[in-house]
Amino acid sequence: MASVSHLGPIHLGLDVHRDTISVAILGPDHERPDVERIAHDEASVRRLVGRLGDPRWLRACYEAGPTGFELARLLDGMGVHCQVIATSLIPKAPGDRVKTDRRDCRRLARPHRAGELVAIRVPTLAEEAVHDLCRARADLVQDCTRAQHRLSKFLLRHGRVWRGGNPWTLAHERWLLAQRFDESALRATYAHYRAVLEVRDTQLEAIQADLACWYDRAPFVDAVHRLGAGEQSHSRPFDRAKRHPITVRVVEYRLVDPGRRAKADRYRLVTTILDPPRPPANELAALYAERWDVKTTLGELKTSQRGPKAVPRSRDPRGVAQEVWAHLLVHYAIRKLVHQAALAEDLDPDRPSFTRSLQLVRRQVIAHAAFSP
């Protein structure tokens, strides 16, 4: 392709693979991009950028994926503005399931010029390195879980079933140590399964120690502090109990339903609030019941009203804030109507179904031009 002259930005949609990159080149005065394929290496990328003129007029984008962020860093280093696009937020036509490299790169170039794509932040090299360390830890956690499952299934095949409560506790560990087998092959198999589990635990402890040195370093210290990740242990439950025991308070209470003849249900609430006079047990029990009301309200907003997996339509913070306020106002309006109707019929306002009320309001909104909250 010859060098391109232009009067505006050139948008590049890149479909990136391990060995090749399909490039959709959309000029400022074109509606249909030209497509070409280049090798996925630095020399080929530099030749492509060199043919397209001044890099400051280039706008490149590609989907986030397994190829990582090295291409974005290379293009940024050459002066090309490059964005990595959130794959799940790319607009798609209903029923469009055909995927080819040419279609995918074109599907990026046109909406990128229209400003319809959502970019993610490209992490720094230090952030990505720590992220890879976190991935390695997650892989080891999965390996440890698989080793536990293999050991459990081996014991199950030979009628050794643990029935003393939760597995992988101190009591369960003592039970495992007490297992004996008459056949030498079974003893060897059991020893191998146990050895694999011990190795995985040791590896997990080692990688957790490598991660711990990053807890108090920028830019991770604030996120770690908010999540409390530095306080979490990486080992099995009985190891955590040995290293970080905590004192808890157990509040036992009964819930009596006057409309039922059955015996009152008994509950136990475990809390780290250890001062009985402040707050008292009955207040804690009441607050715990209120927690479920709050969770139900959040579920009404997130699932029933907004819809599952729905994302804001706006692409700027102010627009997203307006959408959030609109959802809150609509929820308040519906709940206010439900509350008034329940009081008129001498009912508990929490009893009427929010989902059915929402459906009724939606039908009424279609019938009328306006609805004031």
Residues 6+ apart with CB under 8 A from 365: 371
CB atoms within 10 A of CB 118: 14
Q: What is the pLDDT of residues 199-256, one digit of tens each?
A: 999 999 999 889 888 888 888 877 777 665 544 444 455 454 455 567 888 888 777 6
Range of 273-277, 279-283, 329-333 with top mean pLDDT: 329-333
The predicted pLDDT at position 260 comes to 57
pLDDT mean over 292-297: 78
Angle between helices 70-77 and 42-51 (to 10 degrees): 40
Between 77 and 356, residue with greater pLDDT: 77
Give the confidence band of 264 by pLDDT, cuts at 50, 70, 90: low
The predicted pLDDT at position 372 comes to 47
The predicted pLDDT at position 2 comes to 43
Q: Are 33 and 4 in contact (CB under 8 A)?
A: no
Kindly tell me if the per-residue pLDDT of 314 is higher than 60.
Answer: yes
The predicted pLDDT at position 258 comes to 61
Q: What is the pLDDT of residues 11-30, one digit of tens each?
A: 999 999 999 999 999 998 88
Q: What is the pLDDT of residues 64-77, one digit of tens each?
A: 999 999 999 999 99
The predicted pLDDT at position 323 comes to 86
**What is the Cα–Cα distance from 134 to 204, expressed in whole angstroms?**
11
Task: Tell me the pLDDT of the chain averaged across its residues.
Answer: 84
The predicted pLDDT at position 224 comes to 73
CB atoms within 10 A of CB 207: 19
Kindly tell me if the per-residue pLDDT of 39 is higher than 90.
Answer: yes
Q: Counting runs of H as helices and runs of E as strands, what totals does the chain give?
A: 11, 8
Q: What is the pLDDT of residues 99-136, one digit of tens each?
A: 899 999 999 999 999 899 999 999 999 999 999 999 99
pLDDT mean over 283-307: 79
Half-sphere exposure of 119 (CA within 13 A, CB side): 17
Kindly tell me if the per-residue pLDDT of 37 is higher than 80.
Answer: yes
Residue 113: which of 6, 4, 25 has the closest Cα?
Answer: 25
pLDDT mean over 337-345: 88
276 preceded by a cis bond (ω within 30 of 0) = no
116 token code pair: 């319809």
Q: Are 238 and 172 in contact (CB under 8 A)?
A: yes
User: Going edge to edge, which strands form the sheet with 20-26?
Assistant: 34-39, 20-26, 10-16, 58-63, 81-85, 119-120
Half-sphere exposure of 14 (CA within 13 A, CB side): 30
